[in-house]
Amino acid sequence: MGDPVLRTPSDAIANPQSAAVRLVADDLQETLRHLRSQRGMGRGLAAPQIGAPMRMIYIEIDRPWFILNPIVTDIGDEDFWVWDDCFSLPDLLVRVQRAYQIEVVYQDLAGQRHGVKALGALAELLQHEIDHLDGVLSVDRPTGLNAFSYQQEWAQFHSNEGRYGEPELRVPERDYFIGMPAPHDSPPLLA
Q: Which positions lie near Zn ion, rule CB under 5 A? A: 86
Q: Nearer Cβ to Zn ion, position 47 or 68? A: 47
Residue nearest to Zn ion (CB): 86
Return d(Cα 42, Cα 75) in angstroms, integer: 24
- Per the residue annotation, which of 60, 124, 129, 166 is the catalytic one? 129
129 labelled catalytic: yes
Q: Nearer Cβ to Zn ion, position 54 or 86? A: 86
DSSP 89-155: STTEEEEEEEESEEEEEEE-TT--EEEEEEEHHHHHHHHHHHHHHTT--GGG---SSS-EEEHHHII
Residue 182 identity (one-letter amino acid)? A
Q: Nearer Cβ to Zn ion, position 54 or 170? A: 54
Is residue 53 a contact partner of residue 39, using CB atoms and an 8 Å limit? no
SS3 58: strand
Instruction: Give min distance, CB of 179 to Zn ion, in A.
Output: 25
Instruction: Give min distance, CB of 157 to Zn ion, in A.
Output: 23
Instruction: Give min distance, CB of 143 to Zn ion, in A.
Output: 17
Query: Which residues participate in catalysis according to the annotation?
Result: 129
